[in-house]
Chain A
Amino acid sequence: MAALVESIYKGITYRGAEGQWAWILHRASGLGIALFLYMHIVSIFVAAIGPGPYAWVHATLYTSPPAKVLEVFLLFGVLYHAANGMRIIIIDFFPTLGKYQRTIVRIELVLVAVVLVPAAIITLHSLF
């Protein structure tokens, strides 16, 4: 645990460039997606208890206003993780593209934003 904390401290305090922040965000989004999946499995399992608790849990977890905001974060996490994963795969198979990695990170973020912004508007529309 101490090693993990120390490793996180080094990651935050080292002045890396786009690649380092892309990597940190990749890890954070991966953890977020994993947590969501666990939550999703538990929420589905509530159906075994009965329709009442199932409906209550789903109304709380997926349709309440805070859940809608979290849904946008989840969407960002999934989109970013997928896009960044593609960037890593591309650079792994074509190492010479590494010299353009800063540009590739920026293109990746633009692509994420292009999908995320309209999706976020649709998701949050019901709140206004």
Chain B
Amino acid sequence: MRIKMRIRRFNPETDSSPWWGEYWVDVEATDRVLDALHQVKWYQDGTLTLRRSCAHGICGSDAMVINGRNALACKVLMQDVGDVCQVEALRSMPLIKDLVVDMEPFFAKYRAVLPYLINEELPAAGERRQSQEARARFDDTTKCILCAACTTSCPSFWANEDYIGPAAIVQAHRFIFDDRDTAADLRLRALNDVDGVWRCRTVFNCVQACPREIDVTRAIGEVKLALMNGGD
């Protein structure tokens, strides 16, 4: 099948603003958008710049806006994009070049929620045991791959880039509800900020955008309730 790729291009050294480049590619129905982008880069225009690493939906580096919706280029099949596939960089992130955005502000928010296990006490028997029920409490939010598809699909984030965003809240949820962790209060304090969890307007774009099918809004809701109840 022959598909037209519309790619939003931007080179900071030569362009004053982004523009749409159009390329025709021959692809199989079961090829992915990433394969089509490779065709453009490898055989038509080597200056096309994009991020990708594992190409199998695990590393989260090729999140982009595909036909108006955030997704991983390595997970969307060409048979699902129609005759024209429009691709652009994630929104509301500093644009570096073509499909590459600066992820540093995103990771700064990730670091702000202390995304690691904090427990100063030594484990009693050489390791910290956890029941299956306690592990299941935060199972959903362990699946996050930090691709930023959720945060950059969020209208609250478009309106205010200081909003900590769904991804950081999901990461906080993962540790707040881990019964081995002892620093839930620190994370909840960070999320109780004016640009914290309360900026969520339950729009559900994040749930729709998440390539790992995490129930993001539910996680955010549980953090809101934890704050209302004064802890976890």
Contacts and interface: CB of A to CB of B under 8 A. Distances in A.
Contact of A95 (B201, B203, B205, B225): B225
A62 interface: no
Nearest to A24: B155
B67 A95 contact: no
Chain A interface category by residue count? 20 to 34
A91 B202 contact: yes
A64 B222 CA distance: 49
Nearest to A15: B68
B159 interface: yes
Interface in B191-228: 201-205, 207-208, 215, 217-222, 224-225
B158 A95 contact: no
B82 to A, nearest CB: 12
A13 B155 CA distance: 12
B153 interface: yes
B158 A15 contact: no
Interface string A29-73: 000000000000000000000000000000000000000000000
B98 to A, nearest CB: 19
Contacts of A99: 215, 218
Interface string A6-38: 110011011111111011000000000000000
A19 B204 contact: yes
Given A17-B204, A95-B217, A98-B218, A11 B68 contact: no
A16 B65 CA distance: 12
Contacts of A3: 159
Contacts of A93: 225
Contact of B222 (A6, A14, A22, A95): A95
A23 B156 CA distance: 11
A120 interface: no
A92 B92 contact: no
A34 B63 CA distance: 39
Nearest to B225: A95
Interface of B: 65, 67-69, 91-92, 153, 155, 158-159, 201-205, 207-208, 215, 217-222, 224-225
26 contacts: A7-B159, A14-B65, A14-B68, A14-B91, A14-B153, A15-B67, A16-B153, A16-B203, A16-B204, A17-B208, A18-B204, A19-B202, A19-B204, A19-B207, A23-B201, A23-B202, A92-B221, A92-B224, A95-B220, A95-B222, A96-B218, A98-B207, A98-B215, A99-B218, A101-B202, A101-B217
Interface of A: 3-4, 6-7, 10-11, 13-20, 22-23, 88, 91-96, 98-99, 101
